[in-house]
């Protein structure tokens, strides 16, 4: 009988250990998910703060960040040029007011009604 008692105690103890390990793994996974969520939140706040600071100070020529502001401006302009090239290749245009995609040569934006003649004259 003693053998079965020890076996039973071992199985109960092992079961408790496995159960505790499963709880620990679950808690760790939950905490890691919460950590990632908070890190993402902090990153978003940094981005919003940086964007806000950039918008307020981008025209200042005498500041420490002037070179970074210039590089950002150049990159944004290049992105806009590349987007325009994609639209040109696709035979489309983009409304300068609302950003809606429409066929090239459209007279008015089908989304917001902006007259498109001015846009084609700029090109």
Distance CA(107)–CA(120), nearest Å, equals: 10
* Residue 119 pLDDT > 80: no
40 pLDDT higher than 90: yes
In-domain check, residue 28: yes
Among the residue ranges 90-94, 100-104, 116-120, the one predicted with the least confidence is 116-120
The predicted structure's pLDDT at residue 123? 45
Mean pLDDT within 70-88: 92
Domain count for the chain, please give it. 1
* DSSP codes, 44-113: HHHHHHHHHHHHHHTT-SSSTTHHHHHHHHHHHHHHHHHHHHHHHHHTEEE-TTT--EEETT-SB-TTT-
Q: What is the mean pLDDT of residues 22-44?
A: 96
CB 64, CB 81: distance < 8 Å: no
User: Which range marks the domain in which residue 42 is found?
Assistant: 16-57
Is 43 within the bounds of a domain? yes
Q: Is residue 81 in a domain?
A: no
Q: Is residue 122 predicted with pLDDT exceeding 70? A: no
Q: How confident is the model at residue 118 (pLDDT cuts 50, 70, 90)?
A: low
pLDDT over 70 at 105, yes or no: yes
Contact (Cβ atoms closer than 8 angstroms) between residue 109 and residue 102: yes
What is the rounded CA–CA span in Å between residue 13 and residue 10? Answer: 5
Lowest average pLDDT, out of 4-18, 50-64, 83-97, goes to 4-18
Residue 40 included in any domain: yes
Of 15-19, 53-57, 99-103, give the range with the top mean pLDDT: 53-57
| CA 82/CA 80 separation, integer angstroms | 5
SS3 114: coil
Q: What percent of the chain has pLDDT over 90?
A: 41
In a domain, 111, yes or no: no
Q: Mean pLDDT for the chain?
A: 87
């Amino acid at each position: 009988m003693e053998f079965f008692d020890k076996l039973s105690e071992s199985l109960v103890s092992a079961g408790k250990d496995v159960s505790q390990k499963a709880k620990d793994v679950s808690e760790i996974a939950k905490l890691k998910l919460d950590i990632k969520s908070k890190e993402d939140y902090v990153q978003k706040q940094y981005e919003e703060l940086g964007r806000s600071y950039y918008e307020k100070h981008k025209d200042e020529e005498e500041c420490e960040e002037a070179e970074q502001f210039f590089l950002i401006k150049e990159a944004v302009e290049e992105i806009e040029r590349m987007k325009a090239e994609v639209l040109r290749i696709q035979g489309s245009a983009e409304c300068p007011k609302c950003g809606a995609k429409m066929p090239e040569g459209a007279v008015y934006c089908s989304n917001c009604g902006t007259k498109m003649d001015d846009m084609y004259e700029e090109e």
